[in-house]
Amino acid sequence: MARIFSGIQPTGIATLGNYLGALRNWVALQESEDECIFCLVDLHAITNFQEAAALREQTRQMAALLLACGIDPARSILFHQSAVSAHARLAWIFNCVARMGWLKRMTQFKDKAGRDQEAASTGLFVYPNLMAADIHAYHATKVPVGDDQLQHLELANDIAEKFNHDFGVAFFPRIEPLVLKDSARVMSLRDGTKKMSKSDPSDQSRINMTDTADMIDQKIRKAKTDPAPLPEHVHDLASRPEARNLVGIFATITGQTPHQVLHHFAGAGFGPFKTQLAEALIAHIEPISLRTRQYLDDPTALDQILKDGAHRAAAIAEPIVTEAERLVGFLSR
Ligand code: TYM
């Protein structure tokens, strides 16, 4: 039995990108033999300033959504990161193992810091070390993510290797990313070359997992396309990023291959395709959105689920991180 770990930031509302690229996979992995640990990474969230009340609300909101998507707290461990101190303790050790040059190469830091890197928080810079600690604190070996996180996972392997080398041990195992093929990178509805993101200033660029049927319908109708009809072959979509993205979403949400979708719509304009795409999305998202609201109606029950999860998570992480501290040379507490 392997251990699976993944996380999501409780900032903003989860998008269709989060769902198709990661959450859907998390739910499916619960059926495997492996032990699943899913984390609301609130320590990561504050690398950009968050209003305290909003962070609390969004953490509950994200917990409710994960449960509504099918994360089952009886089978998986679901918790918020700040409740298990082992993450921050191991992250500090990793801050001292990782090299400046490694972190400077992280493309997500460059994207998120924007032009004024001097004004970014130092937390944003060392964020990948915390992410490595999240995984290694559990000796997890499988990590389901979208492909924007792959560079961070490579770094997590580099950190583990250097730790093992520096202290002459084989303590942290290698980790393997689990990436879904057709939905590893869901793109913006306004620009097919940009990732769909909760932090994009335009709400029209994304489908939120809480959008109403009307909003989904309207966003898909307005989604950017090009004037040519849908082609017969997938390779003809190569230079048409918006069309390729919509066909990818259609395929994933209806459980088909892009090839099967094109077989059905080849030669037609985007009108009927978009109508059916909106219908499929609504059929999928509306029940999730309804269940999310039901979970949010009982915040006490929600908090209890997270507390139980944190308790179970700490029972795994505590001895591993205590051993890492011993290896480093800290006296026992
Ligand atoms: P976050 O919160 O940005 O996103 C959560 C998950 O959603 C995936 N994702 C996407 N997949 C496909 N298309 C998209 N447009 C899209 N947008 C987001 C992400 O790849 C991710 O899997 N650093 C992580 C959270 C994290 C983590 C971890 C993940 C912290 N510690 C340990 C794995 C293991 C993040 O910011 O994800």
Q: What is the CATH number of the domain that holds 37?
A: 3.40.50.620
Same domain, residue pair 126 and 258: no
Overall pTM > 0.75: yes
For residue 18, count other CB atoms closer than 10 A to its CB: 25
pLDDT at 184: 80
Assign 190 to helix, strand or coil. Answer: coil
Show the tokens assigned to 89. Answer: 């303790």
Give the model confidence (pLDDT) of 46-57 as tens digits.
Answer: 999 999 999 999
Same domain, residue pair 90 and 108: yes
* Residue with CA closest to ligand 1 atom 4: 8
Confidence grade of residue 224 (pLDDT, cut at 50, 70, 90): very high
Q: Which domain holds residue 250?
A: 211-294
197 lies in some domain: no
Report whether pLDDT(2) > 80: yes
Confidence grade of residue 196 (pLDDT, cut at 50, 70, 90): very high
Q: Is 146 in the pocket of ligand 1 (CB under 6 A)?
A: yes
Q: Is 10 in the pocket of ligand 1 (CB under 6 A)?
A: no
Same domain, residue pair 255 and 324: no
What is the Å distance from ligand 1's center to 45 Cα?
Answer: 12
Same domain, residue pair 143 and 9: yes
Give the model confidence (pLDDT) of 142-189 as tens digits.
Answer: 999 999 999 999 999 999 999 999 999 999 999 999 998 877 899 999
Q: Is 18 in the pocket of ligand 1 (CB under 6 A)?
A: yes
Show the tokens assigned to 57. Answer: 């609300």
Show the tokens assigned to 161. Answer: 């290797």
333 lies in some domain: no
Of 223, 211, 149, 156, the C-alpha closest to 180 is 149
pLDDT at 333: 85
202 lies in some domain: no
Report whether pLDDT(318) > 80: yes
Q: What is the mean pLDDT of residues 190-204?
A: 95
Q: Are 174 and 141 in contact (CB under 8 A)?
A: yes
Q: Is 42 in the pocket of ligand 1 (CB under 6 A)?
A: no
Same domain, residue pair 43 and 106: yes
Residue-wise burial string across 34-61, b where 16 or more C-beta atoms lie within 10 A, e elsewhere: ebbbbbbbbbbbbbeebeeeebbebbbb
pLDDT at 160: 98
Report whether pLDDT(130) > 90: yes
Same domain, residue pair 97 and 245: no
Show the tokens assigned to 274. Answer: 């978009």
198 lies in some domain: no
64 lies in some domain: yes
What is the Å distance from ligand 1's center to 144 Cα?
Answer: 9
Annotated active-site residue 224? The verdict is: no
191 lies in some domain: no
259 lies in some domain: yes
pLDDT at 181: 83
Same domain, residue pair 240 and 323: no
Give the model confidence (pLDDT) of 15-33 as tens digits.
Answer: 999 999 999 999 999 999 9
Give the span between the Cα atoms of 313 and 43, in whole angstroms: 16
241 lies in some domain: yes
Q: Is 145 in the pocket of ligand 1 (CB under 6 A)?
A: yes
Q: Percentage of the chain with pLDDT > 70?
A: 100
DSSP letters for 247-286: HHHHHHHHT--HHHHHHHHTT--HHHHHHHHHHHHHHHHH
Same domain, residue pair 81 and 122: yes
Q: What is the mean pLDDT of residues 196-212?
A: 95
What is the Å distance from ligand 1's center to 146 Cα?
Answer: 6
Same domain, residue pair 107 and 240: no
Q: What is the mean pLDDT of residues 284-294?
A: 96
Q: Decide: residue 92, CB within 10 A, 0-12 exposed, 13-18 middle, 19+ buried.
A: middle
What is the Å distance from ligand 1's center to 4 Cα?
Answer: 14
Same domain, residue pair 176 and 250: no
Q: Percentage of the chain with pLDDT > 90?
A: 95
168 Cβ contact list (under 8 Å, min separation 6)? none
Same domain, residue pair 163 and 273: no
pLDDT at 182: 77
Given its phi and psi angles, is residue 236 left (phi above 0), alpha (psi -120 to 50 degrees) or beta? alpha
Q: What is the CATH number of the domain that holds 237?
A: 1.10.240.10
Q: How many domains is the chain partitioned into structurally?
A: 2
Give the span between the Cα atoms of 32 and 122, in whole angstroms: 38
Same domain, residue pair 92 and 164: yes
